[in-house]
Chains A and B, each alone.
Chain A
Amino acid sequence: MQIKQIMEYLNAEVVCGEANLETEVHSAFGADMMSDVLAFVKDQSVLLTGLTNPQVIRTAEMVDMKCIVFVRGKQPDHTMIDLAIKKGIVLLKTTLRMYPACGILYMNGLEAGGTV
């Protein structure tokens, strides 16, 4: 699916990266522990998280994520937004909690992706 479809499914707002909303993504990973993202992400290109600090963007960049969805209404700060713009990562935010956000995307065909 395209990132803009994620926006529709989750009633999410774009924080930054409008130009890349048509990027195709196939699988996602949900976590608040960045250690787990680094340990378990293989080919997933969307990260759902409720954690907001600059290391979320860096972690996502290290594992080649294309989009980060902040759940539970979390708002990334300017440092994070600047970093995401620099790295070409789309940031979205939704008021949904982690479980329904992941569930909705999964039901609509965004897969869990490979495991390491």
Chain B
Amino acid sequence: MSGIKLSYRVDGDNFSSAGEASEQVKMRLKQLGVDSSIIRRVAIAMYEAEINMVIHAKGGMAYVEVEPDRIVLSLQDEGPGIADIELAMKEGYSTAPDTIRALGFGAGMGLPNMKKYTDEMKITSEVGKGTTVDMIIYLSAK
């Protein structure tokens, strides 16, 4: 199992379909026989990122690489960008509208969750250009 590359378009117009890419990645990792606790961490981190893209950036692209020792996720959008990444990383800080809160999201837990469930996480963002979230999860125990 080495060097499998997957890519998905995340549709930004349809909140109902948010999470489809994460679901497919989850299935694929199961087929590859990846440990279930690792799959869960990948699925949650990617799902949070996917939801964020749909809420804030009208969708984007999700790239997943399954390497022999790690899983690398990169979620790239051309949305409004994040002006203050440190603030955005704070638990409870959210700029999601009330309509999104009514759907059960926007509690300001997305980015902190991604950090919690991954071994490495990096946000690159430019206001007006977009945001890229890169995450790595190692296949062996931390």
Residues of B within 8 A of A24 (CB): none
Within 8 A of A (CB), among B77-114: 103-110, 112-113
Interface check A22, CB cutoff 8 A: no
Alpha-carbon gap, A116 to B22, bound state (A): 21
The 8 Å CB contact of B109, one of A36, A53, A56, is A36
CB distance B109 to A35 under 8 Å?
A: yes
Residues of B within 8 A of A38 (CB): 44, 47-48, 109, 113
How many Å from the CB of B62 to the closest CB on chain A? 14
Q: What count of chain A residues pass the 8 Å CB interface test? A: 21
Interface check B136, CB cutoff 8 A: no
Within 8 A of B (CB), among A21-78: 32-36, 38-39, 49, 51, 53-56, 58-59, 61-64
Alpha-carbon gap, A55 to B96, bound state (A): 16
Interface check A115, CB cutoff 8 A: no
The 8 Å CB contact of A39, one of B22, B47, B51, B109, is B109
CB distance B116 to A116 under 8 Å?
A: yes
How many Å from the CB of A97 to the closest CB on chain B? 17
CB distance A55 to B109 under 8 Å?
A: no
Interface check B16, CB cutoff 8 A: yes
Interface check B72, CB cutoff 8 A: no
CB distance B18 to A55 under 8 Å?
A: yes
Alpha-carbon gap, A93 to B112, bound state (A): 32
Within 8 A of A (CB), among B1-41: 15-19, 22-23, 26, 36, 40
Residues of B within 8 A of A51 (CB): 103-104
**Chain A, Cβ-Cβ closest to B104:** A34
User: A35-B110, A55-B51 given as contacts; is B40 within 8 A of A62 (CB)?
Assistant: yes
Alpha-carbon gap, A49 to B52, bound state (A): 22
Q: Among the interface residues A35, A49, A53, which one has the most CB atoms of the partner chain B within 10 A?
A: A35
Alpha-carbon gap, A34 to B76, bound state (A): 23
Alpha-carbon gap, A33 to B103, bound state (A): 8
Alpha-carbon gap, A34 to B47, bound state (A): 11
Residues of B within 8 A of A35 (CB): 104-110, 113
Residues of A within 8 A of B106 (CB): 35
